[in-house]
Amino acid sequence: MPDQQPASTVVLAGGHVFDGTDFLPEPADVVFAGDTVLEVGSGLAAAHPHADVVDVTGKTVLPGLVDLHVHVCSSNPGSLQAFAEPWSLQFYESVRNLEATLHAGVTTVRDAGGADLGAKVAVDTGLVRGPRMRLAVTIMSQTGGHADFLMPSGVHSPSMGPHPGRPAGVADGVEEVRKVVRQILRAGADQIKICSTGGVLSPADDPRHSQFTEEEIRVIVEEAAAQGTYVMAHAQGSEGIKNALRAGVRSIEHGVYIDEEAIELFLANDAYLVPTLAAPLAVIKKAGAGGSGLTPTVIEKAHLVADTHRESIARAIDAGVKVAMGTDSGVGVHGENLEELALLSGVGLDLTGVLRASTSIAGELIQHAEVGRLAPEHLADAVVLDGRLDDSAQLQTLPTMVEQVWKDGTLEFRRTDSGAGRAR
């Protein structure tokens, strides 16, 4: 009796395959068995006669992309419109935002604040279609810090405010930050997000100024590590970046004002940089279009940081700092995530470096998640591009090349000649 292949075996056959590290000799096949990768290499389709074979000849196959910085419950943060909208609208908008992100080719995201455990469960159970999620739940901030959403008027912004699934994140002093970390982990956080500097979208602070002491950050890192996880730090000013790195954070988000000492700390601590180059540009674009609801202070700060941001990231890349892809989508438009890849190319990453940052390096950062690689025992996520991806210049039009998106061995999205279509 001939060997029977599981009904869920799928072969993406004959493609130009990037496995998360390098492009493979062509033509190459990718074999999924259920929700995991079984094998990758040349001439594999013949060994699986009962598989569902998808011909990807002339097309490029990438691992499912990983976006390490999104806010799926935010669609226009910093806008005064939030004060007039129904408070619960953010959760309904997240359904649209998650689906748009998945259709863009992003199969795993790290939500950097806003989405609670319910959003993750909704995706995991199939109630909502979207990328798998790693949650921060709440953004930790000192009083008056980047994630203290008390406005100068005395009113709290509703968009990131606390609710039963999203604990308050403002804390001061060693013992208070320790307790808040524990509360956020109890709420279902996969990692802790802090603000060690001011930011652009907050109304009353400066991106260059430090927030939280190094001692406070060290306690946050210790509490996260005790529960098997790590800390990501919103950090734009140089001193706040260095405080966070010295205290042991795993990733710096944004990194606008990186100096030479900070670069040395990145390298010494094996830390990651998630640039989110698209974020200040998205603020500037919204302001130029009008009707954004953003305050003049926010718009002024976005212009202040944009050029310095690119220069800092370029220096870090040149020095060998590990860079992983994140977009800060929510500040920008969900579903336009792949625009970040061209921006990374513009500050010094070659094509392979950009793809690694968006797949295998991002997967390493997350920890305990077999994502970002087309390799045995990794999750069966893939993006099929219509055509060969050979040159960094093609990253400008990469979003238009996405033809198929696979997650957990299931075809989630297929582009048709008439527009977008669904697989299930």
Q: Can you tell me which residue has the tokens 């959403």?
A: 149
What pLDDT is attached to residue 84? 81
Structure-token pair, residue 387 = 């055509």
- Contact between residue 107 and residue 381 where contact means Cβ atoms under 8 Å apart: yes
Higher pLDDT, 220 or 296: 220
Residue-range domains of the chain with CATH? 9-63+372-422 (2.30.40.10), 65-366 (3.20.20.140)
Give the integer Cα–Cα distance in Å for 28 and 43: 7
Structure-token pair, residue 302 = 């976005």
What pLDDT is attached to residue 136? 98
Q: What is the mean pLDDT of residues 131-158?
A: 90
β-bridge pairing 410-416 and 419-422: antiparallel
β-bridge pairing 106-111 and 132-135: parallel
Higher pLDDT, 261 or 162: 261
What pLDDT is attached to residue 139? 97
**Residue 158 pLDDT more than 80?**
no
Lowest mean pLDDT among 10-19, 31-40, 142-151: 142-151
High-pLDDT (> 70) share of the chain, %: 95
Q: What is the mean pLDDT of residues 342-360?
A: 98
What pLDDT is attached to residue 422? 61
What pLDDT is attached to residue 266? 98
Q: How confident is the model at residue 59 (pLDDT cuts 50, 70, 90)?
A: very high
Give the integer Cα–Cα distance in Å for 402 and 358: 15
Strands of the sheet containing 106-111, edge to edge, are 65-70, 106-111, 132-135
**Residue 204 pLDDT more than 80?**
no
**Residue 1 pLDDT more than 70?**
no
Q: How confident is the model at residue 369 (pLDDT cuts 50, 70, 90)?
A: confident
Higher pLDDT, 419 or 293: 293
What pLDDT is attached to residue 81? 76
Q: Which uninterrupted H or E stretch holds 37?
A: strand 36-41
Q: What is the pLDDT of residues 16-48, one digit of tens each?
A: 999 999 999 999 999 999 999 999 999 999 999
What pLDDT is attached to residue 2? 44
High-pLDDT (> 90) share of the chain, %: 80
**Residue 200 pLDDT more than 60?**
yes
Q: How confident is the model at residue 309 (pLDDT cuts 50, 70, 90)?
A: very high
Give the Cβ contact number of residue 343 at 10 Å: 21
- Contact between residue 374 and residue 56 where contact means Cβ atoms under 8 Å apart: no
Which 3 state secondary structure label does DSSP give 154?
A: coil
What pLDDT is attached to residue 79? 67
Q: What is the mean pLDDT of residues 56-63?
A: 98
Structure-token pair, residue 8 = 């869920």
**Residue 5 pLDDT more than 60?**
no
What pLDDT is attached to residue 424? 61
Cis peptide before 77 (omega within 30 of 0): no
**367 contact partners, CB below 8 Å, separation of at least 6:** 229, 230
Sign of CA dihedral 279, 283, 288, 293: positive
Structure-token pair, residue 355 = 């793809």
**Phi and psi for 396 in degrees, rounded to 5?**
-60, -35
Q: What is the pLDDT of residues 101-130, one digit of tens each?
A: 999 999 999 999 999 999 999 999 999 999
What pLDDT is attached to residue 328? 97
**Residue 304 pLDDT more than 90?**
no
- Contact between residue 313 and residue 75 where contact means Cβ atoms under 8 Å apart: no
Q: What is the mean pLDDT of residues 267-274?
A: 98
Mean residue pLDDT across the chain: 93
Q: How confident is the model at residue 361 (pLDDT cuts 50, 70, 90)?
A: very high
Model confidence, pTM: 0.95
What pLDDT is attached to residue 288? 77
**Residue 312 pLDDT more than 50?**
yes
Max CA pair span of the chain: 77
**Residue 78 pLDDT more than 70?**
no
Q: What is the mean pLDDT of residues 139-148?
A: 94
**Residue 280 pLDDT more than 70?**
yes
